Structure 1
């Protein structure tokens, strides 16, 4: 990858229909952080989805992305060079984040339960770590002029026979976490989301996501490739879309969309 590459980043979280109706705060959160020298910047992207059944999950998701932005930046600053080194750094960052999350939330940690999905955009690699049901899609290359999209591997379920979501606070979180290292200079777009957009962005079979839906992902990244003159208006328009009846009919949960495209 080009060490000098810069990324345009935009994220938005909106409360789902059920939460709007009940006045419940949005339990999703996102955060991005750029650090390092201008000639070799690193960007950390994080999204989190608080457990709807837990009383303080909105606080948990916000805490998780804050800790992730700092913790993964710290590990990425060590500049791992090999794929194995990247995956090891990602796992160490996850353990750092999880330990600090549990320390801060104390005996009530389960009330802060949240998923966590992180992408690290480094000069010569892209790292991915996820626990729970968030997902990441990369845009890389074209075939006959058509952009190609790739779904990164998702974490395992709580068990082979369970659809239960694993959270940062779950006992099985450490063994369920999934990491990946991508070395492809053709990657020019990244989309992270919580499960509120999974039915819209991904195709499914046997209860598992199989691949991205090109039309949806392409539209979401294309609008960031060519943003309007008024960023605030672009954000309002995206929030309106995510709250629309059309999308709510597919999934009424909170929705988060975090995107990054090469400038």
Structure 2
């Protein structure tokens, strides 16, 4: 997509080495879109379950549904936390419903079920729906707000830069249980939603779990206990943001990074999608 004015958007997906070795196709997907008025940007990455035969299709369906539904009537930048949280909760349910409807249509069950709500598996059945299983992380960026939606082990980070200081990164959307997918029975109970108001926001990054060895550090690196959870690696996020800004958003540095020897450690598909302020300072 063409990035809205004042924003750099870049994404790349690289097939994992274990997938190449076994002749298995890439099961990741990403997509970016903008709201109808161009004031908000939507990012989505999805990771198809490696053991499911049609999960690549499920991943593409997931990012398409998330971008389409998160673009619909987001709150204004002047709205308060309660309005943002209510909107995101409603959109999360809509994404799950639309994903299951899409799965059933792809399986030839369109129009035969009683609806896409929780507990309505339809004639295709939960087992068939699971063949398209995918994890999802999505974000709507309308500075200073970021609204996150997540099911499963994709993760997300935000970049910030206060005046005169170096750009900082924090993990805003830690990975959840790797066995959670949009098609998992009870998925509504596993959806994670989060709304951030960040005055100094300078970037948002989403990634699939194959990127974890490259993008995240163990807490022991900073002498923290394991309970602190993974930390965004300063060797990944800030240098990547600087490289993308320097070349105007050309994704080649990102693709090269995901194809390098360190990235190959995971063996899994790797996908990263970024939205950055061009100058490195906060979005206006």
On whether the aligned pair clears a TM of 0.5, the verdict is: yes
1:189 counterpart = 2:209: no
Runs of at least 5 residues in structure 1 that lack an aligned partner in the other structure = 158-163
Q: 1:29 is matched with which residue?
A: 29
Equivalent position SS for 1:146: coil
Change (3 A) 1:196 1:143: farther
**Displacement of 1:22:** 2.6
- Scaled by the length of structure 1, the TM-score of the pair is 0.85
Task: Pick the aligned partner of 1:252 from 254, 261, 267.
Answer: 267
Equivalent position SS for 2:251: helix
After superposition, give the CA deviation of every residue in 1:67-120 in whole Å (9 maximum; x if it has no partner): 100011114168782212212222221211211211221222100000110110
**Displacement of 1:210:** 3.0
How many residue pairs were aligned?
247
Q: 1:175 is matched with which residue?
A: 189
Structure richer in helix, relative to its length: 1
Structure richer in strand, relative to its length: 1
Structure 1 Cα separation of the partners of residues 78 and 66 of structure 2: 18
After superposition, give the CA deviation of every residue in 1:131-181 in whole Å (9 maximum; x if it has no partner): 111111111125983321111143653xxxxxx421111123212221111
Runs of at least 5 residues in structure 2 that lack an aligned partner in the other structure = 105-123, 220-225, 279-284
Q: How does 1:140-179 map to 2 (within 5 A)?
A: 140-142=160-162, 145-154=165-174, 156-157=176-177, 164-179=178-193
1:199 counterpart = 2:229: no
Q: 1:139 is matched with which residue?
A: 159
Q: 1:97 is matched with which residue?
A: 95
Larger gyration radius, structure 1 or structure 2 = 2
Structure 2 Cα separation of the partners of residues 133 and 82 of structure 1: 29
- Scaled by the length of structure 2, the TM-score of the pair is 0.79
